[in-house]
Amino acid sequence: MTTRIPRNAKRVYYATETVTRDGGRFAGREQKSTTFREARAFLDELNVPGGVAVWNDGSRNGNHAAVATRREDGSWIRLDRFKGSWEPME
């Protein structure tokens, strides 16, 4: 799945596969998407654990913020920014 990201995109979602090897966690395949739905579909199609982070154009430091995580059993959890805790996602 290839997604073309417009040059002037204000928000980009990064879906990254998590690979566990020799007791450590590493980043595997990844994809940039313009919507969370595309990023989630990428990990669901691969059927692998991983995470989705977002980059916003207005961020001062250019960092990525975690949005959601796909567990090994296929369930999703999302970060509730108001509470600062992770909660199940449907």
Q: What is the pLDDT of residues 37-89, one digit of tens each?
A: 999 999 999 998 999 999 887 666 667 788 999 998 999 999 988 998 999 99
Residue 26: pLDDT band (50, 70, 90) is confident
Beta-carbon neighbour count of residue 35 at 10 Å? 12
Question: Which pLDDT value is given to residue 3?
Answer: 64
pLDDT of 60 reads: 60
| Tokens matching residue 24 | 């450590």
| CA 42 – CA 56 distance, rounded (Å) | 20
Residue 2: pLDDT band with limits 50, 70, 90: low
Contact call for residues 65 and 53 (beta carbons, < 8 A): yes
Q: Give residues with Cβ within 8 angstroms of 87, minimum separation 6.
A: 77, 78, 80
pTM of the model: 0.79
